[in-house]
Structure 1
C-alpha cells in the first residue's frame, strides 16, 4: 500500500490524491458548518471557493479563516 512496497502504480497515486482532497474538503465543510453556519442564514459554496469571504473586517471572515486553518491542521 505504501510507495515503494509495490511496483510503480500511477492509479494508486491518483486515488490517494483524490482521497486526500476529498478528506480536506469534508473537513473544511465540517468546520465551516460549525463556525460559519451558525453566523449566516444560508451556507453556500461561496465560503469554500471565493477569496472575498476570507476577510479580517468581519467576524464571519475570521470564522472562515479559522475554518481553513483548522482543516489544514487536521490534514
Structure 2
C-alpha cells in the first residue's frame, strides 16, 4: 500500500515523492547520456529542462524524446515495484 496500512503519514508520502523524483531524474540522465551524449559534444542541463530541445525536426530531438519516454516507462516500472 502506497500510503501505509496503519496511519496517515505525510512524511512518508513526501519521502516517496522525493525518491520517485530522484529516480526519475537519474534514469532521465542515464538515457540522455546514452542517446544524446553520443550525438553532442557537451551534454548540459538544457536537455533536461528546456522544451526547445524536445523537437521532432532533428535526430538529436528524437533522441531527447526517446529519453523522456523511456525514463517515464522506467518510472512506471519503479512505481509498480512500490505499489
Q: So what's the TM-score if we normalise by structure 2?
A: 0.86
Q: Please report how far the alpha carbon of residue 6 of structure 1 lies from its aligned counterpart in structure 2 after TM superposition.
A: 2.6
Size of the aligned set, in residue pairs, is: 75
Q: Deviations over 1:4-56 (max 9, x none)?
A: 41311100000000000000000000000000000000000000000000001
Unpaired segments of 5 or more residues in structure 2? 76-83
* CA root-mean-square deviation: 1.2
The equivalent residue for 2:6 is 6
Instruction: Give the structure 1 partner of residue 27 of structure 2.
Output: 27
Runs of 4+ in 1 over 4 A off after TM superposition: none
